[in-house]
Amino acid sequence: MDDLSYRIEKFKPFDENEEASKQSFLQFMNAFHDNIYTRDNLIGHVCASAFIVNKERTKILMAFHNIYQSFGWLGGHADGDKDLAKVALKETKEESGLATPRLLTPDFADIAVLHVIPHIKRGKFVPAHLHYTLTYIIEADENEPIRIAENENSAIAWLNMKDYHQSVKEEHMLPIYDRLIEKLHNL
């Protein structure tokens, strides 16, 4: 059993949704082994997401994703890198301009399997597939400069945790974000 399989196996899910995602993730890894870290696997691939909070734990940094026309977490594809914490931090910096984000915990805090709709990315058709997503909770200074990543998003903002729902149009993501907020309060 490789390190990621072991860590996922030992992970304690928060609810039924996360338990189902955990089992799906393990089956996916078992079926495809190392062919899970690149976009060459059209069924699905591993991604690392960043749930970015301010130091006071009152705001979440979210980007307005052009594909989904909604604010959401940052993150991206592993693209062959098996160090998913590093991927989450790299994507945070690339998509937000933050210079000094830091992991709040050394390992992932959440597991989700998400359906990606067919779309065009950089002029190329991308078929429907699954993102096997591990999410890291990251802390950042809300006074640090941020910027949009024009090829990924068209806005980036610190949203209040109490009313962020009104900015998220992807209803299926709300339970995941709420779960992450509850986990954050339990750290």
Domains of the chain: 3-185 (3.90.79.10)
pLDDT given at position 122? 82
**The predicted structure's pLDDT at residue 177:** 97
For the whole model, what pTM was predicted? Answer: 0.94
Report the C-alpha gap between 88 and 138 in whole angstroms.
9
pLDDT in tens, 141-174: 999 999 998 888 899 999 999 999 999 999 999 9
- pLDDT less than 50: residues of the chain: none
